[in-house]
Structure 1
Amino acid sequence: MNQTIKTLVADDEKYSREEVKFLLQEHPSIQITGEAATGQEALSKIIADEPDLLLLDIDMPEMTGTELAVILKKMKNPPLIIFTTAYSEYAVEAFKVQAAGYLLKPIDETELTEAVAHAAGLLESKRGPAKGKLAVGVDEAVTYLNPADVLFASRENKTTTVVSSKGTFKSRMPLKELESRLLHHSFFRVHKSYLVNTEMITEMTPWFNGAFQLTLNGTDVQIPVSRNYVKALRTQIEL
């Protein structure tokens, strides 16, 4: 089952914390369990609440974000860290503590989505193969799908369309997050706007400018494959 990502937001500026929390509302898997205004407060809440993910400012009073990260590395099960900072010069330090992401303020929504998706993938790998169903839906009604029944998913105008053998469904989940949730299943990103179940591929034909199109079992829709993804896709599906 795709699990909730317990998340702590740490920043000494209240406005910055509110901005991060607002942006994270677009990610259904994120559950904000608390916030902290200092490094020491963040450490106390991490020990008490054991969050999965920490959105962490670097320039904070009492203890900097990088100093806190060094302490967290010594813990048995530390949270993944996505740094949020106005300064690019701390990137090397972030690399040394194996941060899952490094975002410059003002935070770009797309970059945040990619960082959260990356962190979600790392957490899924730690937790082991997902055994549950994929939840899709836009409003209160939720449909649960077996990942094996999904043919492909596409993204347009901030809405994800999931096409399955059971029907077509809409979701607000970003494609990057969907990709992370299906990490342990046979799915491959073939285009910035398309994710396909490789078990459903029956044919790949040349299109134009080095790009290809896919034919899938169960649908007449032709799926575009960006030329940058062709080699990796063939490596994935061919013997």
Structure 2
Amino acid sequence: MKGPIKALIVDDERFSREELIYLLKAYESIDIVGEADSGDEALMKAIQLQPDVIFLDVEMPRMDGMQVARSLQELKKVPAIVFGTAYPDFAVEAFRHEAVDYLLKPFEEEQLGDAIARLEKKLMPTEPIPSRESKPSKLAVEKDEEIHYLDPANILYVYRDDRLTKIVGKDHVYETKWALKEVEERLREFPFFRIHKSYLVNLDYVARLIPWFNGAYELELRGSKDKLSVSRNYVKELRKQLEL
């Protein structure tokens, strides 16, 4: 699919909906198209809005999440489902409905990040990597109304800051309106690695990995005084990329 993943949020508790919407807004790949506070409204919104995924509360009055999931299978476009509940007892039944994930309340950022990664893999498969011969070797960004062509070897890291993506080079910081995922795609043939949902680093500049807390790490780069946070979801793969 092209474009962001269209999401519908369904929960009979307003606070839970607002919390999940707040957390999801951090992900560029997710576009929240609507919300519903009951199973009946969820089905109506699913028909009207044609979401790609529904974040679906399990325990709701009248029509619960499992009943909604069964009814959704009758639609022409069947959305992916991510269940959410305060109780783990429904997990087995949830996956019988081919749920992408099952989130426990209160929602944890790391758990939600895993769910988004699964959704992206299911709904936004990456395109085949073109041959290197056809790939440009410079990254073009605008600065002061000029177009600068950056050598990826001189980029230390890239990060998302509000609505801009910032590219930190050896001497300058550049800004672009490209989404971080788009920059990541453009740099696929170079040694860049995502260490956090908002950060991408050039592995050639990694100097030190420092334990922080709760399984997370901080990263030091040569040529930079900044310390970057490494999400615990990415630590294992990062070490695999760095170590012989």
1:177-215 Cα offsets, whole Å, 9 max, x none, are 9569847944545789964568xx6x999999xxxx9x9
Could you tell me how far apart the structure 2 residues matched to 1:20 and 1:227 are? 25
Could you tell me how far apart the structure 1 residues matched to 2:123 and 2:47 are? 18
Q: What residue number does 1:103 align with? A: 103
Could you tell me how far apart the structure 2 residues matched to 1:58 and 1:18 are? 17
Could you tell me how far apart the structure 1 residues matched to 2:18 and 2:12 are? 11
- Which residue identity lines up with residue 57 of structure 1 in the other structure? D
CA deviation after TM superposition for structure 1 residue 103, in Å: 1.3
Contact kept, 8 Å, 1:10 with 1:37, in 2: the verdict is yes
Count of aligned pairs: 211
Q: What residue number does 2:90 align with? A: 90
Provide the secondary structure at the position in 1 that maps to 2:106: coil
Could you tell me how far apart the structure 1 residues matched to 2:183 and 2:94 are? 25
Q: What residue number does 2:4 align with? A: 4
Change (3 A) 1:129 1:166: farther
Contact kept, 8 Å, 2:53 with 2:80, in 1: the verdict is yes
1:105-137 Cα offsets, whole Å, 9 max, x none, are 111233223322332332211x85699xx9x9x
Q: Superposed, which structure 2 residues align to 1:23-172 within 5 Å?
A: 23-125=23-125, 149=152, 152-153=157-158, 162-163=167-168, 168-169=173-174
Change (3 A) 1:115 1:178: farther
Contact kept, 8 Å, 1:2 with 1:181, in 2: the verdict is no
- Which residue identity lines up with residue 107 of structure 1 in the other structure? F
Higher relative contact order, structure no. (Cα contacts within 8 Å, ≥ 6 residues apart): 1
Provide the secondary structure at the position in 2 that maps to 1:112: helix
Q: What residue number does 2:17 align with? A: 17
CA deviation after TM superposition for structure 1 residue 65, in Å: 1.3
Could you tell me how far apart the structure 1 residues matched to 2:238 and 2:21 are? 37
Root mean square deviation, CA, Å: 5.0
Could you tell me how far apart the structure 1 residues matched to 2:98 and 2:25 are? 25
Provide the secondary structure at the position in 2 that maps to 1:102: strand
Identity %: 38
Could you tell me how far apart the structure 2 residues matched to 1:124 and 1:95 are? 21
Q: TM-score, normalised by structure 1?
A: 0.60
Contact kept, 8 Å, 1:124 with 1:130, in 2: the verdict is no
Q: Any unmatched runs of 5+ in structure 2?
A: 131-138, 142-146, 211-218
Q: Which residue of 215, 229, 236 corresponds with 2:237?
A: 229
CA deviation after TM superposition for structure 1 residue 167, in Å: 5.4
Could you tell me how far apart the structure 1 residues matched to 2:76 and 2:113 are? 27
Could you tell me how far apart the structure 1 residues matched to 2:128 and 2:19 are? 33
Could you tell me how far apart the structure 2 residues matched to 1:121 and 1:110 are? 17
Change (3 A) 1:65 1:152: same
Q: Any unmatched runs of 5+ in structure 1?
A: 137-143, 235-239
Provide the secondary structure at the position in 2 that maps to 1:106: coil
CA deviation after TM superposition for structure 1 residue 59, in Å: 0.8
Could you tell me how far apart the structure 1 residues matched to 2:196 and 2:25 are? 25
CA deviation after TM superposition for structure 1 residue 56, in Å: 0.7
Contact kept, 8 Å, 1:153 with 1:196, in 2: the verdict is yes
CA deviation after TM superposition for structure 1 residue 231, in Å: 8.1
Could you tell me how far apart the structure 1 residues matched to 2:80 and 2:2 are? 17
Provide the secondary structure at the position in 1 that maps to 2:124: helix
Q: TM-score, normalised by structure 2?
A: 0.59
